[in-house]
Structure 1
Amino acid sequence: MGRYIVKRLISLVPIIFGISVLVFTILHLVPGDPASIMLGTSATPEAIKVLRQEMGLDLPLVQQYLQWMGGLLQGDFGVSVHTGEPILPEILSRFSITLQLTVLGALFGWLFAIPLGIISAVRVHSSVDVVVRLFAMLGISVPNFAIGTLLLLGLSLYFGWFPPIDVVSFWEDPAEAWQVFVLPAITMGIVLAAGVMRMTRSAFLETLEKDFIRTARAKGNNQWIVIVGHALRNSSIPIVTIAGMQIGYLLGGSVIVEQLFSIPGLGQYILDGIYQRDYPVVQGGVLFVALVFVLVNLLVDVIYTWIDPRIKY
């Protein structure tokens, strides 16, 4: 296992390199000059030229990329061209907020989706199964910004629940943090729950037809003992796979939710960088999210061996 993990960590190098080239190239293809945007419409060409030289934007793209990668290899994500502040401390600070939101949204989605998916599989073709499948279809079809807008209008503005307050960490004040994160977490969790629910139902339907399930039932075991003690673990591989992938998608998809609920997380930080043509912020933020996504996938692979000891690396 240790050898496998080391190999996977080494394989991160070409993946991160490819992502960095892609992000760098796409950003520099976007119309607009950061120096012109920062100085405004009244700036003179001379002032714009001086600022471009200070920002290194006058250098060839290859040289700009090599300078950026050289800083990354030393742990330096660069400096924001808009604020002049180092990027990495800001990314880590914002990521802690995004991580809390993502974990809460994932917990909500899993605790809601897995039990309903199991019940839907056990009571296949029943009215409960139809309702669960309909909810899953709606969760996949409706975008998260629409769900978040409805929650804001219905619960926050109309009923006055969860009023807008400053963002605080769960470590500082759990009660106040709950009021801040509950609506965006539900927004993210509903989308996650839809996919996990469908996968849980499909995995259980397949597992319940296996011979070892028939044997467990023939021994006179209770229905829920058969489901929890035998079927659950053997159905967990595809569930864990999609859950791990969606954690990465939640981290990346938090941009819209954070913007909608005015949460100063990493997603909003990257979005502000896009608006301001702040290349170092966007490059560093996207690369950081990609690294976390790949590490989550590695963790999922490690969990496989705990669920099914027959899996060897």
Structure 2
Amino acid sequence: MSSGTIKFVLRRVAYSAVVLLGVIVVTFSLIQVVPGDPVRIALGTRYSPESYAALREASGLDRSLPTQVFDYLGGVLTGDLGVSFRTGQTVTSTLMERFPATLSLAAFGLVVGLTIALVAGVWAALHEGTVSDAIVRIGSQFGVSVPDFWMGLLLITVFAAKLGWFPSSGYVPLTENPAEWLKHLVLPGLTVGVVAGAIMTRYIRSAVLEVVSMGYVRTARSKGMPPRVVTLRHIVRNSLIPILTISGIQFATILGGVIVVEVVFAWPGLGNLVFSAVQARDYPLIQGAILLIAVIFLVVNFLVDVLYAVVDPRIRLS
């Protein structure tokens, strides 16, 4: 690994560390700025002096503010994010239970969306101004405009209620039954993938159009290179930077929790967890989920930055 590459990676790590520190401060402040007593609010009708005192002690809110700050920072560094007000389980274990479901949904949705976007976006750009280009642009606009819940309900109505091909809700872990895991994944994955694909199609079409107008593409065509070679070697390859950008953003967004989709399909992922935590005013769980989502975005963005440098060596020298 060259010194330029090492410096590039270290700069990105430093940027990510600064952002993460800011996120930690914000998430810690969340429970401090909540109007009223968060423990009393969370207990609701379950309140009693004994349960109130026990929950304050378990969450560390009975300590002084400086102690809470150091305890929270130390907990984040060791993976201890506190205890859920609602269940009494540790926040870390709760998040880790839900993360595999969201990860599988995000991966499946990204594969579907990227497949749609690459085929439709490249095709539309190479046939700019034609009927097929107009169809792709109208289709992508429709996909962007359609709400996630409507798309999910439509797929449930057609493929679950009428055809009975796939279950309408629920989740089966991959390790328990791979076939059932895939069957339950198809409909929510398609919902996420179609919407993500519509968004990415527009970006990929614009990126490919910009590359198509470059001189080296015209030169390659004038030399009589086969259209497939020109498309793959010169056009798609030189469009990878914006493709990586939009793919990373979409993947991080899905991993961060597609709340509506997960609620519609009763998918036990991070989005559904955050929705339940907000309803129950489970502030430690909300804090932990926000922190995990922020870490996910930072990791994905870091990996995309590294891939930038692999695709275009000039970037790591900037």
Report the TM-score, using the length of structure 2 for normalisation.
0.89
Distance, in Å, in 2 between the alignment partners of 1:230 and 1:208 is 9
Query: SS of the residue aligned with 1:124?
Result: coil
Query: SS of the residue aligned with 1:41?
Result: helix
Give, as a single letter, the amino acid of the residue that structure 2 aligns with 1:177. W
1:197-208 to 2 correspondence within 5 Å?
197-208=201-212
Q: Which one of 10, 22, 29 corresponds to residue 25 of structure 1?
A: 29
Q: Which one of 50, 53, 59 corresponds to residue 50 of structure 1?
A: 53
Give, as a single letter, the amino acid of the residue that structure 2 aligns with 1:35. V
Cα distance, 1:21–1:217 mapped onto 2, change above 3 Å: same
In structure 2, the residue matched to 1:277 is: 281
Q: Does structure 2 retain, via aligned residues, the 8 Å contact 1:32–1:277?
A: no
1:65-84 to 2 correspondence within 5 Å?
65-84=69-88
Query: SS of the residue aligned with 2:258?
Result: helix
- Give unpaired runs (5+ residues) of structure 1: none
Cα distance, 1:200–1:240 mapped onto 2, change above 3 Å: same
In structure 1, the residue matched to 2:290 is: 286
Q: Does 1:106 find its partner at 2:104?
A: no
Q: Does structure 2 retain, via aligned residues, the 8 Å contact 1:52–1:58?
A: no
Q: Which one of 187, 191, 195 corresponds to residue 195 of structure 2?
A: 191
In structure 1, the residue matched to 2:243 is: 239
Give, as a single letter, the amino acid of the residue that structure 2 aligns with 1:200. I
Q: Does 1:252 find its partner at 2:256?
A: yes
Q: Which one of 126, 149, 157 corresponds to residue 145 of structure 1?
A: 149
Q: Does 1:136 find its partner at 2:135?
A: no
Give, as a single letter, the amino acid of the residue that structure 2 aligns with 1:162. F
Give, as a single letter, the amino acid of the residue that structure 1 aligns with 2:241. I
In structure 2, the residue matched to 1:158 is: 162
Query: SS of the residue aligned with 2:268?
Result: coil
Distance, in Å, in 2 between the alignment partners of 1:39 and 1:212 is 66
Distance, in Å, in 2 between the alignment partners of 1:99 and 1:192 is 15
Distance, in Å, in 2 between the alignment partners of 1:6 and 1:104 is 31
Distance, in Å, in 2 between the alignment partners of 1:182 and 1:207 is 34
Q: Does 1:123 find its partner at 2:122?
A: no
Distance, in Å, in 1 between the alignment partners of 2:187 and 2:138 is 22
Cα distance, 1:128–1:171 mapped onto 2, change above 3 Å: farther
Q: Deviations over 1:114-171 (max 9, x none)?
A: 1111110111111111110011111111221221122222321232221246522334
Q: Does 1:174 find its partner at 2:178?
A: yes
Bigger drift between 146-155 and 205-214 goes to 146-155
Q: Per-residue deviation at 1:23? A: 3.1
Q: Does structure 2 retain, via aligned residues, the 8 Å contact 1:136–1:198?
A: yes
In structure 2, the residue matched to 1:97 is: 101
CA RMSD of aligned residues (A): 2.3
Cα distance, 1:158–1:30 mapped onto 2, change above 3 Å: farther
In structure 2, the residue matched to 1:307 is: 311
Bigger drift between 19-28 and 217-226 goes to 19-28
Q: Does structure 2 retain, via aligned residues, the 8 Å contact 1:79–1:86?
A: yes
Q: Does structure 1 retain, via aligned residues, the 8 Å contact 2:149–2:261?
A: yes
Give, as a single letter, the amino acid of the residue that structure 1 aligns with 2:81. F
Distance, in Å, in 2 between the alignment partners of 1:191 and 1:27 is 34
Give, as a single letter, the amino acid of the residue that structure 2 aligns with 1:185. G
Cα distance, 1:135–1:146 mapped onto 2, change above 3 Å: same
Identity %: 38
Distance, in Å, in 1 between the alignment partners of 2:314 and 2:14 is 25
Q: Which one of 193, 210, 214 corresponds to residue 214 of structure 2?
A: 210
Q: Deviations over 1:205-230 (max 9, x none)?
A: 11111111111111111222211121
Q: Deviations over 1:84-130 (max 9, x none)?
A: 22221221221111101100000000011111111101111111111
Give, as a single letter, the amino acid of the residue that structure 2 aligns with 1:13. A
Bigger drift between 116-125 and 277-286 goes to 277-286
Q: Per-residue deviation at 1:268? A: 1.7
- Give unpaired runs (5+ residues) of structure 2: none
Q: Does structure 2 retain, via aligned residues, the 8 Å contact 1:101–1:185?
A: yes
Distance, in Å, in 2 between the alignment partners of 1:87 and 1:11 is 27
In structure 2, the residue matched to 1:7 is: 11
Bigger drift between 86-95 and 226-235 goes to 86-95
